[in-house]
A and B are shown apart, each in its own frame.
Chain A
Amino acid sequence: MATATYPIQVTYCGICSLPPEYCEFGGTTKKCEEWLEEKLPDMHSKLYSQEVLEQNMSALSVDAQKRAEKDSQKKAARAEAASAKLAETRATSKVLIKRIERNKRKYVTAVQGLEAFGLDIKKVAKDFGKKFATGSSVTKVPGGGEEITVQGDLSDDIFDYVVENYKDVPEDNLECIEDKKKKKADG
């Protein structure tokens, strides 16, 4: 490594994004190891051979080893909990496509909840605008959070578009509703 030509090409772990040699300090060591074994068998054998593991262990005192062990277990548990939580919110959270009547025959369509699926709603809003050739913007919701507001009655089109283009969002979690509350208040 010493006199390699610059810039050095560094490979990063596909799971935790750190250089593979630091995977052991992340919470997802197990997954990282599997990933490395599959993608870069050379490096895997270098980093995870018995010899290296033993050497790593012997560098620390017994006491410190125990503490490190405990710590890494805690970290792993936390990482697992976090990923489980993420999966759960993904499974349970709903995307609402609302058709809101604005002025008798005119409608706007509001889309809520896309951010739970790891989408950047600003970008999605831009895409909607491009796809449907209408105004599309991110607006703040009074209760906190943001939604995408698209001009025109596009609830069905948006439903199809989201199903088609954003595979992360399961179709069952999409819901179309018609919002009439506003009209009542007006009338």
Chain B
Amino acid sequence: MFKKDITPGAKSKVKSSVQRTIRSKVLEQYPLLEPYIEDILPKKEQLDLVKLPDRIALYALGTTPLFFQHMDDPLLPHLTLIHRYPRCFPTLRIDRGAIRFVLSGATLMTPGLTSPGGRLPNDPNDAEGRYGKKELEAGEVVVIEAEGKEHACMVGVLKVGTEEMKRVKKGQACEAGHYLGDGLWSLSLG
């Protein structure tokens, strides 16, 4: 979505009623954020809406970007937010070989997730249950971590359910929404 560098458009303040809606939407989508919502979206603070090209809206608090959204699609968290609250999102892991492709903006392919280095929900190698027990459906928002790395490297929308991925083991898995080093990442809000 942000392969090229982008220039931010107009910045405007979000109405408090809209801000409440965003807040409840965030909680509905990412219930695990509940304990921290007051830190992320304080009730009293004024949220900003920054318009980006291609009908993407970015919600920011001061100079920290929080969530972005394409039209009325689900809200996607910005990677800096994920880095601060890593365990609060549904997560998958890719193997080492796939990192460089992801970081250059490629669509994530299933073998990167099904190989020994990758992790899907209910993975037999995942002893501590870090990647969840629930299979994810197509269209869900997932955070992509990388083998041997501490921080997430991408966030996107699943194209195929995880169950099907395990069965088919090829094809596209997850559309590149926002990855480390892309236009949204390097965007600075002045």
Contact = CB atoms under 8 A, between A and B. Distances in A.
Contacts of B153: 22
Interface in B101-116: 103-104
A37 interface: no
Interface residues of B, number: 26
Nearest to A68: B100
Interface residues of A, number: 25
Nearest to A122: B190
Interface in A63-98: 64, 68, 71-72, 75
Contacts of B151: 10, 19, 21-22
A59 B147 CA distance: 10
Given A6-B36, A17-B181, A22 B83 contact: no
B185 interface: yes
B51 to A, nearest CB: 15
Contacts of A55: 148
Interface in A12-34: 16-19, 21-22, 25-26
Nearest to B128: A2
A91 B176 CA distance: 37
15 contacts: A6-B84, A7-B36, A7-B39, A10-B151, A17-B185, A19-B83, A19-B150, A22-B149, A25-B103, A55-B148, A56-B148, A59-B148, A60-B97, A72-B100, A75-B104
Given A22-B180, A59-B147, 17 more contacts: A7-B85, A8-B83, A10-B83, A16-B181, A17-B186, A19-B150, A21-B149, A21-B150, A22-B99, A25-B100, A55-B148, A56-B96, A56-B148, A64-B97, A68-B97, A68-B100, A71-B100
Interface of B: 36, 39, 80, 83-86, 95-97, 99-100, 103-104, 117, 147-151, 153, 180-181, 185-186, 190
